[in-house]
Amino acid sequence: MTTNAASIIHASQLSKRYGSVAALDGFDLVVEPGHIVGLIGPNGSGKTTALKAILGLTRLDGGSLRVNGLQPWRQRAALMRDVAYIPDTGILPRWMKVRDLLNFVEGVHAGFSRDKAERMLARTDIQRDRPVGVLSKGMQVQLHLALILAIQARLLVLDEPTLGLDILYREQFYDTLLNDYFEDGRSILVTTHEVREIEHVLTDVVLIARGKARLTSSMDGLREDFVKLTTTTPAAAPDGWLTKRQTLAGTEYLYRNAERAALAPVGSVSTPNLAELFVAIMEKPDA
């Protein structure tokens, strides 16, 4: 990812400790206008701490962080006028009716478009006179998404947004993001464990482990830099591979910056998917 003065997020060498544990240890992240960046890592990798810092919810021990040109911890009120957030657990008031919730958000947020929210909800089965608490998990996420996308924010932060949803709702969620939010230089930062389901929507990816960014690349860059070799003659596989594993088709090797033409005589050459790269980097995070 490149960096410029207009970056939506510019984080450099972020550090945060909880006692003896380094949640962030020199973490770097850049999100440019008009990009969808996946922040992907295992539990305990530092994802949640990074998101909290970006949203101004935690004070860093060191490093430089700007979001929309602001310092999140010191300027959170100004920051949240132009940043929207959907967490992994529902935070909508369960006792409030949908209609009253729309009225409330319209009254407290100057950038909220009631017409846009109503148009998005018209595509769902959500009834305006129903309390939030009686809606299904999928409907609550639809309602939350309609509220968030009706706010003209430059940055949308998503933390495991489809956790607990069935595949139909997950597909609808990302389709709605692409069709109703991703325009006019807006950006999205998303964390998820469902690597396969977001691969097709990302422009960039950052793999994080032990508080550091272990791999930062555009999706096009990943396809250029990494190659997978599947062979039934593993003794002929060139050295320099990152990982290997046994499959029904043979032995799979993952290489970085390898010549495809040199691998082709040994077996089948293909491009690894994001899930395979994630596993490889997590197995050798310092490679």
30-44, 79-93, 257-271 — which is least confidently predicted? 79-93
Which tokens in the block code for residue 287? Answer: 């490679």
pLDDT at 156 over 60: yes
Mean pLDDT of 16-21: 94
Cross-strand bridge partners of residue 217: 205
The pLDDT, as a whole number, for residue 63 is 97
**Does residue 280 contact residue 243 with C-beta atoms inside 8 Å?**
yes
Q: For 35-65, how does the pLDDT look when each residue is reduced to its tens digit (9 = 90+)?
A: 999 999 988 899 999 999 999 999 999 999 9
Q: Where are the domains of the chain?
A: 9-210, 221-283
The average pLDDT across 98-113 equals 91
Average pLDDT of 165-177? 80
Predicted confidence at residue 1, as pLDDT, reads 47
Cα–Cα distance for residue pair 16/223, rounded to 1 Å = 33
Residue type, 126: I
pLDDT digits (tens, 9 = 90+) for 180-234: 777 667 899 999 877 888 888 899 999 999 999 999 999 999 999 999 999 999 9
Place of tokens 């495809």: 260
pLDDT at residue 88 greater than cutoff 80? no
Provide the token pair at 27. Answer: 């973490």
- Residue with the bigger pLDDT between 286 and 62: it is 62
pTM of this prediction? 0.87
Q: Encode pLDDT of 226-243 as tens digits.
A: 999 999 999 999 999 999
Does 27 have pLDDT greater than 90? yes
- How high is the mean pLDDT of the chain? 89
Please say if the pLDDT value at position 20 is more than 80: yes
Give the pLDDT confidence score for residue 286 in this predicted structure: 60
Distance from C-alpha of 11 to C-alpha of 72, rounded to nearest angstrom: 11
Give the span between the Cα atoms of 91 and 74, in whole angstroms. 24
| Averaged pLDDT for residues 281-287 | 70
Domain spanning 9-210 has what CATH number? 3.40.50.300
CB 187 within 8 A of CB 37: yes
- What is the rounded average pLDDT of the residues 139-147? 88
What per-residue confidence (pLDDT) applies to 180?
75
What does the DSSP 8-state code read for residue 151?
B
